[in-house]
Structure 1
Amino acid sequence: MTSAHTAPTPALVSDKRLTWVSLVLALGMFITLLDTTIVNIALDRLHVVFDASVTQTQWIATGYLLAFVAVIPVSGWLSERFGARKVWLFAIGAFLVGSLLCGLATTLPELVAFRVLQGVGGGMVMPLTMSIATRAAGPARVHRATTVVALPGLLGPVLGSVLGGAIVEYWSWEWLFFVNVPVCLAALAFGIILLPRNHGVRGHRLDVLGFLLLTPSVVALAYGISQTSGENGFGELSAWLPMVAGVVLLLGFVIHALTTRRDPIVDVRVFVRRSFGVGSLITLMSGFSTYALAFLLPLFYQQIRGESVFHTGLLLIATALGTMFFFIVVRNFAARLDGRVVVAGGVALTMLGTIPFALAGTSGSEILLLIGQFAQGLGFAATTFPVLALALSGLSHGEAPHGSAAFSVVQRVGAPFGIAVVAVILQRLSQDATSLQEGLDAFAGTFWWTLGLSIIPFVLAFFLPQGKAAETDNTSSHG
């Protein structure tokens, strides 16, 4: 049931229009997620360009992450107040301006400031994209729509590594940001034409107390996670103190959201829904396995196998091919199977794809590694698509903006947290390594850790609601 302040339910679009809407949304999602890895792979070069320390240069990534996470909670309210279409276009516009200014930056502080502007735009795009897609499709077609718009989230990081590596090695660092401009312009042009119009509700008030509790909590968590790369990992004061503060604020927000008489900025009650709650937990725990692998593989190829940045990016294409294979060949077959089996099978494939890296040497066996990456990409897709569709299909039209924001918070905090944990494991195992073989042993141990941590989402998959994966398309709007 929608509240008095909820925007009226928009009419569902036709199948043909839904395809075009999904493609436009995917374009916006692709460029904002691509930008994360395309810049991260160039941080080592940028600290030389600006004659800054690694710690100072890291703010290029950290500033973007903090701004990205900070605006996610408020995106649901903005969508209801001003209309999802208008806010999505504004977000793409902010990302476009931020990208242009980043490419024109002449000092590190300027670049960090403009990356924050990029993060403000990028952070709103993901939850708004899912909200628009869910509302335009309706519960009967949500699986189809979310599959199309989620694909860039899986391909962006890999393709970003390839493109970023090529730009760093053969071009100018400014084009790490200028490359966004034509894509953003295309997204704006097609968005103005194709995205369904909806009007905001002037009486929809912002949950100010909820905003003051939730936004600092997720920013503190994200900041604390970003500081775990220090010598003491999670033992660093700058790491554990913000995370503790973030958890306290988050608990305060949950209590507020459950007791307030007004609409909370994020309705935590959606997590009680079995599909949304378990799906969110699987997504959170995937940070320790699938997202951690995206962090480990480039380091493994460059530090242990001696590959260049660009060649590493090319090798990582195998992961993207596995994802596309699921999308093009396997998806329709998987939709006829029990959703729990599909998700559990996806996690199992990811685990199998990790084994060749845990057993790898300093040279040779490249074919086995590529096959392992293909299995990881296939497994990642088989896990992510059904979980995302299942989580969002259980929401009503009125719940879509807040639910999308909540799911995005889980994803954007879970991924870096999982990566941080695995990074600390790698750091602990490699701190006394003085030879290439000892470095290899440290990576092997870390890969075995990711394999073990993958057991958690594997088990959680069997707690999802029973039924064929295709039935997520026919779920009622209330789950």
Structure 2
Amino acid sequence: MTTPSTEPVSSRRLNLLSVVLVLGAITSLLDTTIVNIALDHLHASFHASVAQTQWISTGYLLAYVSVIPVSGWVSERFGARNAWMFAIATFLVGSLLCGLSGSLPLLVAFRVLQGIGAGMILPVTITILTRAAGHARIGHAMMAIALPGQLAPILGPVIGGAILDSLNWHWLFFVNVPICVVALVLGPVFLAKDLGRREHRFDLAGFAMLTPGVIAIAYGVSEAAGAHGFAAIGAWLPLVLGAVLLVAFVFYALRVRTPALIDVRVFARRSFGLSSVITFVGGFSTFALMFLLPLFYQQIRGETVLHTGLLLIPQGLGTMFFLVLSRRFLANVDGRIVVGGGVLLTMIGIVPFALAGASGGEAVLLAAQFLQGIGLGAVSLPVMALAFSSLSPAETPRGSAAFSVVQRVGAPFGVAVIAVILQGRLSHAVTPALALGAFGGTFWWIFGLSAIPLLLALFIPRRRATAAVPTEERPAEVSSAA
């Protein structure tokens, strides 16, 4: 008998669900980093300009963010399993066509198709997992989501570098095909069938404001990473237009009687709102750190892409260590201590890089990355669990879309700010010593900005790090997990 998608499932079935869903999520998360490190190679292969080649990444990003706002409605209208299968199938077809592309315009077009599938995968995955886990096991569900998210920036360069060294660029996309096929085969077997609800009408007015707003902000942020930073008209103008559209959507969503495309009222809840703010400001620290470390190894220490990926492995090991530790020992620890301790460990792990020289000290840097990995896991896992523990099963689809919008806007925005700081410092660095100083100063900026999530961690509700929220914070319609 099919288990209703809105009811918690057994622990054994939850583990099987997690494995299947992670298969789908890991491909879309890895794809970004795998392809980004190959842009220089693709630039040479197509004999195109850097600006033209950059659209391989930009087209994917814009398509990715464009579908996040509608992912909640698609899950409600057609069923979460059908939405997930459609997203994986779209990503699979896009990956196959990208690998078969013979020109840059075709590759960019198929990257857009690929991005449409990828953008829907994670929000729908969150919906399925949190419903299956129930509030009592929300932390368990978040582990399955957090692990690929933390490992993708580390494994991506290793896989991409290995492919370029031994095969050709077409395999950057073909590598997704077998994983997606396995996910599509296992999906109907392990994912509960839900038919969706025809009465959920599409919010066309909300779509006309929210989706262009998110796309405009994503494009502005991508342009801000250029030579002129946020001063470039291609950066600040889309950011302003996007912000105006988002504000307009918020006012619209609060006044409309029918359900809006995403439920902005969930941000008023302490758990969800605080988690969203911490996630957004995390772009200035944790996500910015993932951006800066590969550049440090390649530009200051002269490492290859493949070797850089190998050097980043200790960070992933640190994250996995935390996930094992949290499952066994941290269930009854106050979430404020876990998140605050994670931020502090990350800050400690930044210091050796801020003080590093152009060579030497490898053991210290590797140990620092291990601490960073523990810290990143300690921040991301409880914060995601906190966000979704206050949502009922009915609220989860649009709530996951709302949280994904915060993730996809906040993280790149913070990274762009750090990129602008680094570029400003490097513009005056005419010697290797000055370039080293530019990186050191930027690492100190990340260290200082990490104080923001550290301060916000003090306001996390006093409760267990991975448990459900207190009864009074839950919506009235949420029942106890069986």
Same fold (TM over 0.5): yes
CA distance in 2, matches of 1:195, 1:248: 39
* Counterpart pick for 1:382 among 369, 378, 383: 378
Please say if 1:68 is aligned against 2:64: yes
1:432 — aligned with what? 428
Cα deviation, residue 56, structure 1: 1.1
* Counterpart pick for 1:288 among 281, 284, 287: 284
**For residues 387-398 of structure 1, what are the structure 2 equivalents within 5 Å?**
387-398=383-394
- Deviation digits for residues 319-360 of structure 1, max 9, x if unmatched? 100011111234432222110110011111111111010000
Cα deviation, residue 257, structure 1: 0.4
1:369 — aligned with what? 365
2:237 — aligned with what? 241
1:97 — aligned with what? 93
Cα deviation, residue 231, structure 1: 2.0
CA distance in 2, matches of 1:203, 1:401: 15
Q: Is the 8 A contact 2:5 2:193 kept in 1?
A: no
**Counterpart of 1:432 in structure 2: which amino acid?**
H
**TM-score when normalising by structure 1:** 0.97
2:250 — aligned with what? 254
Q: Is the 8 A contact 1:67 1:117 kept in 2?
A: yes
CA distance in 1, matches of 2:103, 2:274: 45
Aligned-CA RMSD value: 1.3
1:152 — aligned with what? 148
* Counterpart pick for 1:194 among 166, 190, 193: 190
- Deviation digits for residues 184-240 of structure 1, max 9, x if unmatched? 001111111101111211111011111111000000000000001222100000000
**Counterpart of 2:210 in structure 1: which amino acid?**
L
**Counterpart of 2:203 in structure 1: which amino acid?**
D
- Deviation digits for residues 94-122 of structure 1, max 9, x if unmatched? 00000000011111111111110010000
Q: Is the 8 A contact 2:385 2:466 kept in 1?
A: no
Q: Is the 8 A contact 2:75 2:124 kept in 1?
A: yes
Cα deviation, residue 477, structure 1: 4.6
- Pairs aligned (count): 472
CA distance in 1, matches of 2:226, 2:17: 43
Please say if 1:171 is aligned against 2:167: yes
CA distance in 2, matches of 1:464, 1:251: 26
CA distance in 1, matches of 2:140, 2:324: 13
**Counterpart of 2:67 in structure 1: which amino acid?**
V
**Counterpart of 1:33 in structure 2: which amino acid?**
L
**Counterpart of 2:308 in structure 1: which amino acid?**
T
Show structure 1 runs of 4+ deviating over 3 A. Answer: 473-477
Cα deviation, residue 449, structure 1: 0.3
1:140 — aligned with what? 136
**Counterpart of 2:399 in structure 1: which amino acid?**
G
CA distance in 2, matches of 1:314, 1:464: 35
* Counterpart pick for 2:25 among 25, 29, 32: 29
* Counterpart pick for 1:218 among 210, 214, 219: 214
CA distance in 2, matches of 1:119, 1:52: 22
Cα deviation, residue 312, structure 1: 0.5
Q: Secondary structure at the match of 2:347?
A: helix
1:265 — aligned with what? 261
1:308 — aligned with what? 304
CA distance in 1, matches of 2:149, 2:23: 11
CA distance in 2, matches of 1:95, 1:385: 26
2:224 — aligned with what? 228
CA distance in 2, matches of 1:331, 1:284: 26
Please say if 1:464 is aligned against 2:449: no
Q: Is the 8 A contact 2:89 2:180 kept in 1?
A: yes
- Deviation digits for residues 81-100 of structure 1, max 9, x if unmatched? 00010010000000000000
2:42 — aligned with what? 46
1:123 — aligned with what? 119
Q: Is the 8 A contact 1:139 1:474 kept in 2?
A: no
**TM-score when normalising by structure 2:** 0.96
**Counterpart of 1:296 in structure 2: which amino acid?**
L
**Counterpart of 2:10 in structure 1: which amino acid?**
S
Q: Is the 8 A contact 1:41 1:164 kept in 2?
A: yes
Q: Secondary structure at the match of 1:265?
A: coil
- Deviation digits for residues 10-31 of structure 1, max 9, x if unmatched? 3322211111111111111111
Q: Is the 8 A contact 2:340 2:457 kept in 1?
A: yes
Q: Is the 8 A contact 1:9 1:398 kept in 2?
A: no
CA distance in 2, matches of 1:470, 1:314: 31
Q: Is the 8 A contact 1:319 1:374 kept in 2?
A: yes
CA distance in 2, matches of 1:393, 1:329: 21
Q: Which moved further from structure 2: 60-69 or 144-153?
A: 144-153
CA distance in 1, matches of 2:20, 2:474: 24
CA distance in 2, matches of 1:170, 1:432: 38
Q: Secondary structure at the match of 1:471?
A: coil
**Counterpart of 2:353 in structure 1: which amino acid?**
F
CA distance in 2, matches of 1:167, 1:281: 37
CA distance in 1, matches of 2:326, 2:366: 19
2:273 — aligned with what? 277
CA distance in 1, matches of 2:300, 2:271: 41
Cα deviation, residue 131, structure 1: 0.5
- Deviation digits for residues 403-437 of structure 1, max 9, x if unmatched? 00001110011111111000000000010211111
Q: Is the 8 A contact 2:138 2:467 kept in 1?
A: no
**Counterpart of 2:71 in structure 1: which amino acid?**
S
* Counterpart pick for 1:111 among 107, 112, 117: 107
Q: Which runs of 5+ in 2 are unaligned?
A: none
**Counterpart of 2:345 in structure 1: which amino acid?**
L
CA distance in 1, matches of 2:270, 2:87: 31
Q: Which moved further from structure 2: 227-236 or 65-74?
A: 227-236
Cα deviation, residue 161, structure 1: 1.2
